[in-house]
Amino acid sequence: MGKTTGFLEWNREGAPKREKKERLHDAREFVLPLVPEQSKKQAGRCMDCGVPFCQQGCPLGNPIPDFNEHVWKGRWREAYLALTSTNNFPEFTGRLCPAPCEAACVLSVNQDPVTIEQIEKEISERAFAEGWVTPKVPTYRTGKTVAIVGSGPAGLAAAAQLNHAGHTITVYEKDETIGGLLRLGIPDFKLEKRVIDRRVKLLETEGVTFKTGVEPGKTITWNELKSTHDAVVLGIGARVGRELALPGRELNGVLQAMDYLETANRRVEKGGGLEGAATGKRVVVLGGGDTGSDCLGTALREGATSVSQIELMPVPPNARSSGNPWPQWPLIFRTSSSQEEGGLRSFGFMTKKLIGDGGALVAIEGVEVTLEDGKLVEHPQSTRRIEVDLLILALGFTGPETSTLSTQLGLELDGRGNVKVDSTFATNVPGVFAAGDAMRGASLIVWAISDGREAARTVDTFLMGQPSLLPTRGRDTPFGGR
């Protein structure tokens, strides 16, 4: 447990961040480490609840009270062991997770929750610094081979776990680099790519083989892949972006968020400086979500003359509504780190028209909408035109790219276009499993890792014909919400 009266003595203090002015001039991470004493106090705020809702809030089922206790007592190594008992990549989640655990923290019933995510990051960075993170090479090999398709968090987690169980793993990545969405979708200011490299190197040492530039269904057939492995795990993500079905979509200056971000990320990785598609432009980002925010932050760094982020839905409330009680994910007004860096935000605006001039986008036009009885109502008299040079569509994702899977393997999809799996992550094709966004639809990195780990268990069971000894995230007792 933390300190019995810790939460009465200390307030929540987040990690320091680099000054806005400074951080906008490079692509590096801006969240700074906490001083260890501060981490201990923050962990000491943990109430060691009889029912730690945080652990249910966390899709990975991280043993949060346990590592808080270790940190409070200064037992960092034990904290690291506890944390990695459920989480292969705390260095990713400690940076990128929206922390549903904190939303469910019992302290957040009436005060500020424990800074769980930051503590997680501190633990994992300390573990790397102290040299506690060493490759865990399995002591024996089962002789079974598994193909993991996709090297995003789901694929990597499944690879790590199955490798640990002694199977021989090959990860296939269609891109030239490993990391999937982590590398191509997440800007460096949130996750510097060295963090991914560090992890991939460890996995390689542990015996995982990575094959980049291989796209099953195209460079090889799915059946080829399947026949050369005892099992296949699909971790192909859900990267098909939602389209804006409006006239003018074809104009120059309209980009899908992933295209925009990918380009920017590749450039940064190659040391290509800050200039990019948004430099010197009036930029509008459609979509108020996390991807939209990433676009916003990237555009600001690229030196856009103005950036605004437009959300279709009206402004959410500042506090929880009665229909959205704790410990559910709070549907409230939030400000992301990119949003605090600059740009304009507007809500309740429905884009109706893209206006071009000579094949290039010059403006968008739309109306204000409000939410009435759960339905969006347009207010035509409020029609507004916004001048814009670059429109970035961050409207969410519709699902995985599955065309070759269907045609070559006869893989079934669910109603939303995701890979259909049963409770053991098995698809309708024997020996083929799916994890993460591919079967779930676009979601959080913690879900991806969690699914990857759980799928690994069932794959292990499938391969060995007896209950897997790999750990599980545990029982789910959901309380609704996100």
Give the interface with another protein as residue ranges (CB under 8 A). 4-5, 7-14, 47-53, 55-57, 61, 63, 65-66, 69, 73, 75, 81-82, 85, 104, 106-107, 109-112, 139, 322-323, 325-328, 469, 471-480
Distance of closest approach, residue 53 Cβ to another protein, in angstroms: 5
Beta strand 240-241 with 397-399: parallel, antiparallel or unpaired? antiparallel
Which of 96/101 has CB closer to another protein?
Answer: 101
Q: How far apart are CA 377 and CA 371, in angstroms?
A: 6
How near is the Cβ of 84 to another protein at its closest, in Å?
9
User: Which of 115, 351 has the CB closer to another protein?
Assistant: 115
Closest approach of Cβ 110 to another protein, in Å? 5
Q: Nearest to residue 397, comparing CAs of 270, 267, 256, 210?
A: 256
Q: What is the CA radius of gyration of the chain?
A: 23
Is the Cβ of residue 73 or residue 242 nearer to another protein in the bound state?
73
3-class state of residue 227 by DSSP: helix
Q: CB 475 → another protein: shortest distance, Å? A: 6
The burial class, CB within 10 Å (0-12 / 13-18 / 19+), for 25 is exposed
Residue 7 or 222: which CB sits closer to another protein? 7
How far apart are CB 469 and another protein at their closest, in Å?
5
Comparison of 128 and 329: residue with beta carbon closer to another protein: 329
Minimum CB–partner distance for residue 478 and another protein (Å): 6
User: What phi and psi values does residue 296 have, to the nearest 5 degrees?
Assistant: -60, -50
User: What Cα–Cα distance (Å) separates residue 68 from each residue in 46, 54, 75, 409, 416?
Assistant: 7, 12, 10, 46, 39
- Beta carbon of residue 155, minimum distance to another protein (angstroms, whole number): 22
For 191-348, strand residue ranges (E) read 209-212, 231-234, 240-241, 254-256, 282-286, 306-311, 344-347
CA 41/CA 73 separation, integer angstroms: 10
**CA 368 – CA 314 distance, rounded (Å):** 9
Tokens of 207: 């015996």
Closest separation in Å from C-beta 133 to another protein: 15
Buried b / exposed e over 201-228, threshold 16 CB at 10 Å, is ebbeebbbbbeeebebbeeeebeebbee
Contacts of 441 (CB under 8 A, 6+ apart): 238, 397, 399, 416, 418
Beta strands in 243-291, from DSSP E residues, in sequence order: 254-256, 282-286
